[in-house]
Chain A
Amino acid sequence: MNETSPMKPLGPKDFATDQDVRWCPGCGDYAILKGVQKTLADIGARPENTVFISGIGCAARFPYYMKTYGFHTIHGRAAAVATGVKLANPDLDLWIVGGDGDSLSIGANHLFHLLRRNVDVQYLLFNNEIYGLTKGQYSPTSRAGLRTPSSPAGAMEQPAHAIPFALGAGARFVARGGDVRIKELSETLKRAHAHKGASFVEILQNCIVYNDGAFGHIMDKDKADDAQIHLENGQPMRFGREAKKGLRLKPGKLQLEAVTIGENGVTEADILIHDETDRVMAGMLAAMEGPDLPVAMGVIYCAPTAAFDQQIADVMGRRNPSIKKLQNLIEAGHTWTVG
């Protein structure tokens, strides 16, 4: 059957395929899938113009569940394939989905270059701090000391941090969301979609089988208020139950500290305003991992600049290639006639 895409408004279910979703029951990926389908419906995406590209891993099965164009490629290379797709057709709306191993281990090189080139895509990094599909080995984002089948004495490596990595690569849109806060995630994804250029979103995602509760200290309902801060551009950076807490610069230092309004002489005026174009501040927000400081959620940094694929499209312009033109080329320059 042809998949039709009538011009009537589409709902989230119009973006779901008939394929059985094969993630483990309870996997955080289910919620993200629903969140992405809802986001596409909300922004009025056209399925024929939307492409999902992935590498290898649990997260990378994502394209099979989206009733759009989809390409499940090879481990770590989604960013490279996606770059080629955007060079060929910059008008496509392109989403890349990858896990922490796909994005920050085997594919870190390509992710780095995708971000620095500023290819106009949305890159969703599902970070569960573990290798799921290969049955539970530690990943580049696993915390030091994590015991896994390949690190029985505890992982001895320092973990990679996705958001500082993206900022270091020169990404112009950097955000974070989580699999249990789909409403906020969907808002972040809409911002990512609206941003022209590479939009990088780290999504904290629970692996229920191999690393269950890895983000419990941040995401659990009873801890979330104090452990997360939801950033809004132009608004004071407040968090905690009843938003009593906030971030300010430590006096005399270029360091953030969490303070409580009304305690120790702290007033509302002391709380920093979030300026998402401030790269220095973005670096400090990216470094917040708890427990003294909350983990930043939402849009951490957004400072658009020209997208790579659009720049190339502008340079290419509208050419009218023809056999005749090519004939002229091969006959140009130094030639001679025989006979």
Chain B
Amino acid sequence: MDGSSNTVPNPDHSDALESAVVRFAGDSGDGMQLTGGQFTLATAVAGNDLATFPDFPAEIRAPVGTTYGVSAFQIHFGARKIRTIGDMVDVLVVMNPAALITNLNDLRRGGLIIADAGSFTDRNLRKAGYEANPLEDGSLDAYRIIPLDIQKLTQDAVADCNISNKEALRTKNLWSLGLVLWMFERDTGTTLRWLEEKFAGKADILAANKAALKAGHAFGETAEISAELPLYHVPPADIPPGLYRNITGAEALAWGLTAGCRMADLGMTFCSYPITPASQLLHVLSKMRDHDVLTFQAEDEIAAACAAIGASYAGKMGVTSSSGPGIALKTEALGLAIATELPLVVVNAQRGGPSTGLPTKTEQSDLFQAVFGRNSDAPMPVLAARTASDCFDVAIEAVRLATKYMTPVMLLTDGYLQNASEPWRIPDLEKDYEHFAKERIVTEVTDFHPYDRDGETLARPWAVPGTPGLMHRIGGIERADVTGNISYDPDNHQKMTDFRRNKILGIADDIAPQEICRGPEQGVLAILGWGSTFGPIHRAVGNMNETGLAVSHIHLRHIWPLPANLADILDRFDHVLIPEMNDGQLFKFLRAELLLEATSLRKVTGKPFKVHEIETAAAALLEGSDDE
């Protein structure tokens, strides 16, 4: 075994692991996402902190046994705060040769492979591109392999159940889950309860699934092979007390948007068009009618944005969502919302691009689009969520800014955040948040004019159709200051452009000052990030601090306007490293805005940063700095 690794099997439980990374991989029809999800629940119940990452193909059901049809689910869990999905996998469960060949690179040397040997047939080996069976030819000598005929073991386990052979084989993921649960000392209770709910009314299927799960668990304990099976002990993490649940970014966003609307006392009209990886938000919100959330699946991205604007015009919190290509289509409508100064929240779950790009893979390459991507001078606030649970708070902030400043707000997440899950300490919505002023919509105004601005925020009044006495006309043609009537007056256009700019810039004084979230307050090196790179940067900085290196982590929530104190904070460091899952957009943006001299670290492989990639880049800067 690799002695430097955190993860060492210890049959006698003499000492405990700090953390472990497990990945389940199989055909997209093998139920790997379900298996991972259930392992996640059992792990959360066992008291570990955790982070997960589903990695599935764009094709819904790619041909069986092919490499492009492989679906995987990774979970990193431990006795400490878990910030990342884990750089290297400790235990890899593969249901066929294609899953092995596509995932082996991420397994650390000495790591464990549990393979369904029954599926390593000549045909499947050829499909995956193997010339010989890797389980037998010695090519995996750097790892520990436990080949098991899981298909056969599952068939035996469910032999007494009244189901077809095809149905029997479909339970092999539960057999595997049972085995891994045993390896990590988790019991099967959580999964058994979940199965009973899922298969209520399907007694035969339920019995088979339960039998498979229990058989896998029992196999670990009783089978002759059990001496070879490692047993891992990961004790509970030291996490703050409270009531917890697992939450994905999409759920956190949906609930956060709804919470923001409740705090503003507004109904939500959510208008969207299906697109990966944003659709999950539509699915979650469409079940939230009880919370005055109306969802509308529009005919296209443009209609979705326009309908949301129409809803805001009529007095609801209009929200639209998409991913980069869809946001591009909404662009003209966003200009209308900026011109008519209506509240709107636009969620962009970023994915790899340009064009269709990598629909199911993550990237954060829409920063320029969010900040600049409209015709003319068209500023709007841009926020970015850093973790799945952070989506909740950022969504509330987006609703607050949109309604207080009468502006569209862009909220950036990404494919990783949408799908990733983590434990979330459930907040007290009454006590933990400052509820915003409720009277966002005006009903009685003496001498009403639609562009009569608030002296402090520069926001115009929100008067909605149906209100007697406040009839007015607004539109995309430049509006005269105060009256809103059509105006082509040159000085007026200058004035209104200035208003639109200054209104958004003024938000910098209404947001939390930038903080340094880890490491010294000043020094040699700060690593500056935004969005879902939070986890790997935070872990890397933590690791380097532990070894005595002075490195700090600064993470932006507000991309535009930038926090007022950001330049001062960055000034305190000799070097700034900016890791991004794009080709250097924040780096260039801050160069333009702050004349910041920084080092850019870029990665666009469709996968999150690994901790060591950031450590390596930081170490290079520190070494260079020693030479000076």
A residues at B contact (CB < 8 Å):
1-5, 17, 19, 47-51, 53, 56, 63-64, 66-74, 77, 80-89, 91-92, 109-110, 112-113, 312, 315-316, 319, 321-327, 329-331, 333-339
B466 contacts A49, C-beta separation under 8 Å: yes
Query: Which of under 10, 10 to 19, 20 to 34, or 35 or more describes the interface residues of B?
Result: 35 or more
Asked whether B566 is an interface residue with its Cβ less than 8 Å from the other chain, the reply is no
Given known pairs A83-B296, A327-B430, the reply for A74 and B315 (CB within 8 Å) is no
A19 contacts B294, C-beta separation under 8 Å: no
13 A-B pairs whose Cβ atoms sit less than 8 Å apart in the complex: A2-B447, A3-B472, A67-B471, A70-B474, A74-B476, A80-B299, A84-B271, A84-B296, A113-B298, A316-B292, A327-B428, A329-B255, A335-B244
A81 contacts B309, C-beta separation under 8 Å: yes
B291 contacts A335, C-beta separation under 8 Å: no
A84 contacts B308, C-beta separation under 8 Å: yes
Asked whether B513 is an interface residue with its Cβ less than 8 Å from the other chain, the reply is no
In the assembled complex, the Cα of A4 lies from the Cα of B448 at a distance in Å of: 11
Given known pairs A110-B299, A325-B290, the reply for A336 and B45 (CB within 8 Å) is yes
B475 contacts A71, C-beta separation under 8 Å: yes
B429 contacts A323, C-beta separation under 8 Å: yes
**Interchain CB contact (< 8 A) of B486 among A51, A56, A64:** A64
A2 contacts B446, C-beta separation under 8 Å: yes
**Interchain CB contact (< 8 A) of B469 among A2, A312, A329:** A2
In the assembled complex, the Cα of A185 lies from the Cα of B386 at a distance in Å of: 58
B473 contacts A17, C-beta separation under 8 Å: yes
In the assembled complex, the Cα of A98 lies from the Cα of B172 at a distance in Å of: 60
Across-interface contacts of A80 in B (CB, < 8 A) = 298-299, 302-303, 306-307, 310
Asked whether B174 is an interface residue with its Cβ less than 8 Å from the other chain, the reply is no
Across-interface contacts of B472 in A (CB, < 8 A) = 3, 69-70
Number of A-B contacts (CB under 8 A): 226
| B residues 98-140 touching A (CB-CB < 8 Å) | none
Given known pairs A80-B306, A89-B314, A92-B314, the reply for A338 and B47 (CB within 8 Å) is yes
B474 contacts A71, C-beta separation under 8 Å: yes
Given known pairs A323-B429, A323-B430, A326-B259, the reply for A92 and B294 (CB within 8 Å) is no
Distance in angstroms from B436 CB to nearest chain A CB is 12
What is the predominant secondary structure among interface residues of chain B facing chain A?
mixed
In the assembled complex, the Cα of A333 lies from the Cα of B467 at a distance in Å of: 41
In the assembled complex, the Cα of A73 lies from the Cα of B466 at a distance in Å of: 19
Asked whether B477 is an interface residue with its Cβ less than 8 Å from the other chain, the reply is yes
**Given A70-B472, A70-B473, A89-B466, 20 other A-B residues pairs in contact with their CB atoms under 8 A:** A2-B445, A48-B470, A56-B476, A68-B471, A71-B475, A83-B296, A83-B298, A83-B310, A84-B306, A84-B309, A84-B313, A85-B310, A88-B314, A319-B290, A321-B290, A322-B262, A326-B429, A327-B430, A334-B190, A338-B240
Asked whether B583 is an interface residue with its Cβ less than 8 Å from the other chain, the reply is no
In the assembled complex, the Cα of A315 lies from the Cα of B308 at a distance in Å of: 19
B470 contacts A74, C-beta separation under 8 Å: no
Nearest-neighbor residue (CB-CB) of A113 within chain B? B299
Asked whether B495 is an interface residue with its Cβ less than 8 Å from the other chain, the reply is no
Nearest-neighbor residue (CB-CB) of B472 within chain A? A69
**Interchain CB contact (< 8 A) of B262 among A49, A73, A86, A323:** A323
Across-interface contacts of A70 in B (CB, < 8 A) = 472-475
In the assembled complex, the Cα of A3 lies from the Cα of B246 at a distance in Å of: 53
Distance in angstroms from B521 CB to nearest chain A CB is 30
**Interchain CB contact (< 8 A) of A64 among B271, B467, B473:** B473
Nearest-neighbor residue (CB-CB) of B433 within chain A? A323
Nearest-neighbor residue (CB-CB) of A117 within chain B? B299
In the assembled complex, the Cα of A133 lies from the Cα of B614 at a distance in Å of: 56
A91 contacts B306, C-beta separation under 8 Å: no
Across-interface contacts of A72 in B (CB, < 8 A) = 473-477
Nearest-neighbor residue (CB-CB) of B314 within chain A? A88
In the assembled complex, the Cα of A189 lies from the Cα of B6 at a distance in Å of: 77
- Of A50, A85, A339, chain B has the most CB atoms within 10 Å of the CB of A85
Distance in angstroms from A151 CB to nearest chain B CB is 26
Asked whether B490 is an interface residue with its Cβ less than 8 Å from the other chain, the reply is no
In the assembled complex, the Cα of A174 lies from the Cα of B436 at a distance in Å of: 46
Nearest-neighbor residue (CB-CB) of B256 within chain A? A330
B residues at A contact (CB < 8 Å):
41, 44-45, 47, 190, 239-246, 255, 258-259, 262-263, 267, 269, 271, 288-292, 294, 296, 298-300, 302-303, 306-316, 318, 332-333, 335-336, 340, 425-426, 428-430, 435, 445-448, 464-477, 485-486
Across-interface contacts of B333 in A (CB, < 8 A) = 74, 77
- Of A51, A112, A315, A333, chain B has the most CB atoms within 10 Å of the CB of A51
B289 contacts A316, C-beta separation under 8 Å: yes
In the assembled complex, the Cα of A53 lies from the Cα of B310 at a distance in Å of: 10
- Of B45, B340, B435, B469, chain A has the most CB atoms within 10 Å of the CB of B469
Across-interface contacts of A67 in B (CB, < 8 A) = 471
Across-interface contacts of B307 in A (CB, < 8 A) = 80-81, 83-84, 87
Distance in angstroms from B13 CB to nearest chain A CB is 23
**Interchain CB contact (< 8 A) of A85 among B300, B302, B311, B446:** B311
Distance in angstroms from A309 CB to nearest chain B CB is 10
B44 contacts A71, C-beta separation under 8 Å: no
**Interchain CB contact (< 8 A) of A81 among B239, B269, B306:** B306
A110 contacts B303, C-beta separation under 8 Å: yes
Given known pairs A17-B473, A337-B244, the reply for A330 and B255 (CB within 8 Å) is yes
In the assembled complex, the Cα of A158 lies from the Cα of B242 at a distance in Å of: 68
In the assembled complex, the Cα of A315 lies from the Cα of B293 at a distance in Å of: 12
- Of B47, B190, B269, B475, chain A has the most CB atoms within 10 Å of the CB of B475
Distance in angstroms from A74 CB to nearest chain B CB is 5
Across-interface contacts of A315 in B (CB, < 8 A) = 289
B447 contacts A1, C-beta separation under 8 Å: yes
